Every structure is written in C-alpha cells, then in structure tokens.
Amino acid sequence: MLIGAHVGVSGGYPQAVDYAVSVGCECMQVFAKSPRQWSARPLDPEVASAFRRRCAEVGMGPVVVHTAYLINLGSVDDALWERSWRALADELARAETLGAALVVTHLGTQFRADPGGTHTRIAAGVAAALRLAGPSDVRLLLENTAGAGTTYGSGPEELGAVLSGLGDDRERVGVCLDTCHAHAAGYDLSDRQVWRDLVDSFERCCDMPIEAVHANDCAFPPGEHKDRHAWIGDGTIGKDGFAAMFDALAGTGVPVILEMPGEVPVKDEENLRRLRELRAASAAHASRAV
C-alpha cells in the first residue's frame, strides 16, 4: 500500500510533485481546479505535460484527483443536477490531461422527490458524465460520506446501490473509503473487527474491493455524523484503528491518501511518518505470522 497526501497546487502542478516528494509521499491527490468553483480555464497543456513528466521522473505512485465540492448528483433541481454531471465530466477530462489514474467524488444529497430512488438519480448522473467525458483509462471512485443531514452514500449499501444502476458503465467506477466519514457515520474504526466487517461489506455490496482510502482520524466519537478530520492517532479512531486498517487491507495495494488540517509541511511530514510506522509494524507482524 502506497501512502501519500492531498497536495496544494497553488505554486504550480510540477512544483506540487516536488513538495510531495519532499514530505515523503509515495502517491498524491490534487484538485484539477478550484474545489469551490463550477468552471475554470482549461489546464495549460505544457503545465500538464510537465506535471506528468515530473511524476514519472520521481516514480510518483497513482495520482488522484478530487472533484469540486459543489457537485450534487442527487439534486432534485434538474438544472443543478445537469450542471453537476457536466462538472464531473470536466473533472474526468482534467484528470486525464494530468495523467491521473483516479478521480474521487462525493455524490451529493438524497433525491427529495423520491428518496428511495436516489441511487437511480445519481447513477444516471454518473453515466451521463462518463458519456460526456468519453473513453478514458481514468477510474471514477465514489466516496462515502459522514451521513450528515440529507447527504447520500454513508455506507457500502448506498454506494453499492448506485453501482448496481450503472449497467455497462460500472466497469469504469469503483469506491473510495474515507475513514473519518465512515467512523462519523457509525462504523467504529477503532475496532479491528469492524474494519474486517466493513471491508467485507464493501466487497459484498459493491461487488468490488475498495480501490483507494482517505486516511483521516476523526475528532468526534463514532456515529455523531461530524466530518472533522484529526491527525493520525490523535482522534477517536486512534493508532490502533489505523494499524487495523493496514491489516484489513494487507496485500490490496490501494493508495492511502491523507487529508490533514494544519500547516504545511509539518502536517504532512508528521502524519506520513505515523502511517509509515504503522504500515511497517503491520508488515512485520504479518511476516512473523507466516
């Protein structure tokens, strides 16, 4: 399992790769445009080329693009729904330009006109985005939520329901597990057995394994639906919970991305160090058990 962090690109995309290397990233996540805007100028082809080249030079693991926060594929407003899937298509195209392997997106809210049909509404939006973006090797990953308010996608059952409605497009779509979101939604990830059960539930409900992890500790107890990230080991998941993560996902090779509050570079250097120690301990334990 490769470990990395979400990296800012305000200083430039190639420079973001240099920062990622300097703090110890083996993979990385970026925004392909401002996460709080619907649209932006096209990526400069020369900048994108330099980013891809720099990633190749340093051996950067998979690059992940996180979509804008405005996207709401469950919206009852048809204009907002269409704007959302068109924005998702744009994110997929930008990710391809950057040479990213994965795009992670939040799904949005329940479909108020028919809450039980939310998965169908979202699946239709995803399918429309994929068609507009066109053929691509970039995979789209649906991220679980903390289950606050009317947000949709708090667990494997809801994500699996969306996937089941995609038909042939399902081959291009997978799932990303955010640990803080899952914990906040009620899955107590400080518990080793919960980790095993949750990983099994994703494979059963989604008919596929987890393909990426956002590794974030949670500042509040499980089940409070509060999405407040904490440093690894400082929250209510704790170091034991992240040790259990490495054990539960051992051998999968999924990229593990930090999304930490705090000041750079300290927040990334320290949390990457903590995760590397836990990964090494998990590997050592596994080798002794053989």
CA 110/CA 150 separation, integer angstroms = 6
| 285 belongs to the catalytic site | no
Burial (CB < 10 A; 0-12, 13-18, 19+), residue 96, is buried
In the block, residue with structure tokens 């080793």:
192
Which residue among 106, 119, 121, 183 is the active-site one? 106
Which residue among 18, 53, 69, 171 is the active-site one? 69
| 90 belongs to the catalytic site | no
Which residue among 26, 158, 227, 268 is the active-site one? 227
- Partners of 65 in the β-ladder: 30, 103
Which residue among 94, 119, 139, 214 is the active-site one? 214
**C-beta separation of 85 from 38 below 8 A:** no
Element (H, E) at 91: helix 78-98
Which residue among 52, 54, 66, 139 is the active-site one? 66
Which residue among 26, 90, 158, 178 is the active-site one? 178
Q: Which of 175, 179, 162 is nearest to 258 (CA)?
A: 179
**C-beta separation of 214 from 179 below 8 A:** yes
| 181 belongs to the catalytic site | yes
Which residue among 181, 183, 274, 279 is the active-site one? 181
- Partners of 66 in the β-ladder: 31, 104
- Partners of 6 in the β-ladder: 29
| 178 belongs to the catalytic site | yes
Which residue among 96, 143, 158, 224 is the active-site one? 143
- Partners of 141 in the β-ladder: 104, 174
Residue 76 CB neighbour total at 10 angstroms = 15
| 143 belongs to the catalytic site | yes
| 66 belongs to the catalytic site | yes
Which residue among 229, 268, 274, 279 is the active-site one? 229
Which residue among 169, 234, 259, 270 is the active-site one? 259
| 6 belongs to the catalytic site | no
| 183 belongs to the catalytic site | no
CA 21/CA 53 separation, integer angstroms = 14
In the block, residue with structure tokens 């160090």:
273
SS3 at position 105: strand
**Catalytically active residues, by annotation:** 36, 66, 69, 106, 143, 178, 181, 214, 227, 229, 259
